[in-house]
């Protein structure tokens, strides 16, 4: 269900999903930018993209897709991998930063639910639960190794230059490939597997 349908049918549900989703994506992109900056690339910082202001990160087409189809994207934080002090390690660390951030946010939300003994039917409990699940899904989705998703950049960090070049050439078609695979349900088992893996790790770490 797209967010537009949710807004029309359940405005409260829209707020409970849209706001956590928006800031989960923003934190994901900020993690890329800050990690790149710490590793030697100031591109995102110089362009003012290391900001919590949603307007700096909204992509018009991605936002429209999100509202209509329930699948969308933010404006990617620009990273110049050639300016990183160690290109291969830097590519892996910058790409993994967004995924790790979403996993940490999910862990914190689950931890607060348990620590505060929040009721699953109360507003705080529902909000934290949605926030946790949204971040788990974002992390799982971005682990898929199809350009331009983060999983592909992690693979590229370990791969020889020939494989990297092939991934870079594929990147311009990546979103079309992803949308088609999502439409036909091909990626569903992959996302479910990564989601299970992330939730298992979080449950293992929760006190």
Which of 29, 97, 127, 140 is flagged as catalytic? 29
pLDDT over 70 at 31, yes or no: yes
Angle between helix 123-142 and helix 87-115 axes, rounded to 10 deg: 160
Handedness of CA 182, 185, 188, 190 (dihedral sign): negative
In this model, does residue 72 exceed pLDDT 90?
Answer: no
- Looking at the predicted structure, is the pLDDT value of residue 74 above 70? yes
Q: Reply yes or no on whether 56 is catalytic.
A: no
Torsion on CA atoms 16, 142, 52, 11, rounded to nearest 10: -20
pLDDT above 60 for 47: yes
pTM: 0.91
Tokens of 116: 């505060």
Residue carrying structure tokens 């910058």: 94
Cα four-point dihedral sign 109, 17, 125, 57:
positive
Q: Which two tokens stand for residue 39?
A: 């590793």
pLDDT tens for each residue of 95-107: 999 999 999 999 9
Q: pLDDT tens across 107-153, in order?
A: 999 999 999 999 988 888 988 999 999 999 999 999 999 999 999 99
Q: What is the spatial distance between Cα 140 and Cα 195, in angstroms, rounded to a whole number?
A: 5
CB 39 within 8 A of CB 93: yes
C-alpha to C-alpha distance for 125 and 9, rounded to whole angstroms: 22
Q: At what angle do helices 161-170 and 150-158 cross, to 10 degrees?
A: 160
| Mean pLDDT for the chain overall | 89
């Amino acid at each position: 269900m797209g967010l537009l349908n949710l807004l029309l049918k359940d405005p409260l549900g829209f707020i409970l999903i849209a706001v956590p989703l928006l800031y989960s994506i923003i934190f994901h992109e900020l993690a890329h930018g800050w990690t790149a900056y710490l590793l030697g690339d100031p591109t995102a910082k110089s362009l003012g993209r290391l900001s919590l202001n949603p307007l700096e990160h909204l992509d018009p087409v991605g936002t429209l897709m999100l509202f209509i189809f329930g699948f969308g994207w933010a404006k990617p934080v620009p990273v110049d991998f050639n300016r990183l002090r160690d290109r291969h390690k830097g590519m892996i660390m910058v790409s993994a930063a967004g995924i790790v951030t979403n996993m940490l946010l999910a862990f914190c939300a689950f931890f607060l639910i348990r620590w505060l003994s929040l009721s699953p039917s109360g507003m705080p409990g529902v909000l934290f639960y949605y926030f946790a699940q949204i971040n788990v899904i974002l992390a799982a989705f971005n682990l898929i190794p199809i350009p331009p998703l983060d999983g592909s950049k992690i693979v590229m960090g370990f791969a020889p230059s020939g494989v990297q070049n092939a991934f870079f050439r594929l990147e311009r078609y990546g979103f079309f490939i992803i949308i088609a695979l999502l439409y036909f349900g091909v990626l569903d088992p992959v996302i479910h597997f990564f989601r299970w893996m992330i939730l298992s790790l979080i449950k293992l770490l929760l006190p």
